[in-house]
Structure 1
């Protein structure tokens, strides 16, 4: 493959997935790791990508940039469904289950809406709608109770802020499925929205068990605000695209890492 074609393939991959790994690009392009690193350096000089440890990301993908729900819902759909199917095995009849806003937790909600009867607590209008539609159509085995907390709406369709946080402080939840913007060895689990970080911390405080749902592109991405340290999650469910280094770090610091 000519250099120009390689460069275009790398730029296309970064635009599609936001974060790509050098090892994945080398395998896809059939070239060495060193060749990919040189290509990324050249693309960074021209402003088309930004180098990060072990890969590349969109330039200017700032820590406060918050993609909309519709944009994120079309990305990595197979990985998100696989994560959702694994997460659903943790849910049993009668549980009080929290789902934070996000496209991976939304994928999980699609599975749970047709599953056992639970009390679902969420700050996502879209997730609440899934449960309500399943109940109205009779597609669920039993009608689950859905609690939608109030608050200010974000671009990612999360309800956040003081009203949301106050509501969560009154609840006692068996299990929290937490969607995150990024995961990092130093920054932990992060979000680009300060109010969402506060609301997610309230979710964690109200929950007996915390399970983070995140595809492999979330590793190395940092939002402006930390939700929690890596070790504050009892489990992380991710896809098998997660780098070996990231796997090692998470296994060292999280109760359990599940790869799908």
Structure 2
């Protein structure tokens, strides 16, 4: 387990139980106590935890962990989901991508599709995003037109949010909005932890002909604080084999296309 995977696990443990000792953490992660002490010291320096004698407490951490600590979780599932979602895009379309680790995999899948390059008489793919990390990855691809929404950067997700993002999104139309979510449930719809992200995601959904929700199985049948859209606005749900089958049947019965990667 590399350093970032350890940090991710430690932060999740602290989010659940509030505190942990060096000895307990070393046993859970199967590493030395010296390694855990270094991890605690580094996380404390970043103000992610509060160091205590012999351990650490949750301090200022939140269940909405910064994006850089989420990359080690469900890696294979996210990659498969990204590839499956990328296949839904046709040349010449205008699509939106919000932020998150799974949506980043969608962006990478699109970046490597040579069939999306513009040909005589056709236009290339246009990608609208409010995620700075995704824009940074895509701008080096000459066959993609990248449009970045304005706004204030949210450090946890690298997404631009707030009223400055809205004017651009209100003036465009989208073929597909690919939205990564913190949770999706048939009854409650698509949701995320932060209300600012939810507002921009909802605007993307409103401007799109089709809404595609991207969620690994751990996020299906869950709920978060702020709603993005109701289930009847979802055209397609892309997930993996760990998603609860009853939820997937409910979505399909309501006419939502379900893609299991």
Query: Given the two structures, how large is their TM-score scaled by the length of structure 2?
Result: 0.70
Decide whether the 8 Å contact of 2:91 with 2:125 is kept in 1. yes
Flag structure 1 segments of 5+ consecutive residues without an equivalent.
1-11, 20-59, 136-142
* Structure 1 position 113, deviation (Å): 1.3
Structure 1 position 232, deviation (Å): 1.1
* Aligned counterpart for 1:122 among listed residues 129, 134, 143: 129
Distance 1:259 1:81 in 2: 12
Aligned match of 2:21: none
CA 1:151–1:254 in structure 2 vs 1: closer, same or farther (change >3 Å)? farther
TM-score (norm 1): 0.71
The answer to whether the Cα contact below 8 Å between 1:215 and 1:238 also exists between their aligned partners in 2 is: yes
**Mapping 1:15-34, distance limit 5 Å:** 15=12
Aligned to 1:139: none
Q: What is the rounded CA distance, in whole Å, between the counterparts of 2:109 and 2:254 in structure 1?
A: 29
1:105 pairs with 2:106: no
For 1:254 and 1:157, locate their aligned partners in 2 and report how far apart those are by CA, in whole Å: 33
Say which SS state the counterpart of residue 73 (structure 1) adopts.
coil
Secondary structure class of the residue paired with 1:242: coil
How many residues get paired?
A: 197
State whether residues 173 and 207 of structure 1, in contact with CA within 8 Å, keep that contact through their aligned partners in structure 2.
yes
Distance in structure 1 (CA, Å) of the matches to 2:100 and 2:89: 18
1:94 aligns to 2:101 (yes or no)? no
Structure 2 unaligned runs (5+)?
Answer: 1-8, 17-57, 117-123
Do the aligned partners of 1:233 and 1:254 also contact (CA within 8 Å) in 2?
no
Q: Does 1:207 pair with 2:205?
A: no
Cα RMSD for the two superposed structures: 2.2
C-alpha deviations, 1:88-108, integer Å up to 9, x for none?
111121111111111111001
